[in-house]
Amino acid sequence: MTADGKRRLFLVGAADEPDALVRVLNVVTALQARLRRLEAEPTDGGLSIRFEIDDPGDHRAEALARRLEACPAVTQLAFGWRGGLAPARMSPN
């Protein structure tokens, strides 16, 4: 955990593909984010993924969000602090 104990929360909607979770996690590890919690479950529209990382600062959190948005398996994305999530801008695929 970071010195101040803060964590970032990411909520990801992903396509119903066998490798969707792995593709999302590859983005997280490529940017060397320290994963602290992970939940994933199927939904009617695909896969719901929720994960928390140590707070890397605004710049790195936004870079991770941009990389997740660019991931073909990702259909929805919101990120922020546990108390205040804001949807990320997603362009239509």
Q: What is the pLDDT of residue 2?
A: 47
- With a CB cutoff of 8 Å and minimum separation 6, the contacts of 65 are 10, 77, 79, 88
- Give per-residue pLDDT as tens, 16-44: 999 999 999 999 999 999 999 999 999 99
Q: What is the pLDDT of residue 25?
A: 96
Report all structural domains of the chain as residue ranges with CATH numbers, in order of start: 7-82 (3.30.70.260)
Q: What is the pTM of this model?
A: 0.81
% residues pLDDT > 70 (the chain): 82
Return d(Cα 82, Cα 53) in angstroms, integer.
Answer: 11
Is the torsion defined by CA of 70, 73, 75, 79 positive or negative?
negative
The strand pairing partners of 43, in sequence order, are 46
Q: pLDDT at residue 55 above 60?
A: yes
